[in-house]
Amino acid sequence: MDSDVLQSPGLQTEPQNPPSGGSDLIVEMVGISKSFGGLQALRDVNLTVRRSEVLGLVGDNAAGKSTLMKILTGAYHADQGSIRFDGAPAQIQRPHDSRRLGIEMIYQDLGMCGKRSVVANLFLGRERSRLSLGFLTILDWPAMRRDARRILSNLHIDIESLDRPIEKLSGGQRQAVAIGRAVSFDPKVVIMDEPTASLALKEVEAVLDLVRKLKANGISVIFISHRLQDVFSVADRIAVLRSGELVGAYPTAAVTPDEIVRLMFLGRPGGEEAA
Non-local (6+) Cβ contacts of 12 within 8 A are: 250, 251, 254
Question: Across 132-141, 195-204, 266-275, which has the greatest mean pLDDT?
Answer: 195-204
- What is the pLDDT confidence band of residue 200, given thresholds at 50, 70 and 90? confident
Q: Structure pTM?
A: 0.85
What's the rounded mean pLDDT across residues 186-213?
92
pLDDT of residue 240: 97
**CA nearest to 140, candidates 151, 126, 153:** 126
Q: What share of the chain is helix, strand, coil (3-state, %, to 5)?
A: 35, 25, 40
**265 vs 160, more confident:** 265
Average pLDDT, the chain: 86
Q: How far apart are CA 67 and CA 65, in angstroms?
A: 6
Q: Residue 267: pLDDT band by 50, 70, 90 thresholds?
A: confident
DSSP codes joined into one string, 177-229: HHHHHHHTT--SEEEEESTTTT--HHHHHHHHHHHHHHHHTT-EEEEE-S-HH
Report which secondary-structure segment, H or E, holds 152.
Answer: helix 141-154
Asked if the model's pLDDT at residue 23 lies above 80, the reply is no
Choice between 116 and 155, residue whose per-residue pLDDT is larger: 116
Asked whether the beta carbons of 193 and 57 are under 8 A apart, the reply is no
Once rounded to an integer, what is the mean pLDDT over residues 90-107? Answer: 94
| Cα–Cα distance, 35 to 265 (Å, whole number) | 21
> Between 168 and 22, where is the model more confident?
168
Hey, what domains does the chain have and what are their CATH numbers? 3-102+187-271 (3.40.50.300), 115-186 (no CATH)
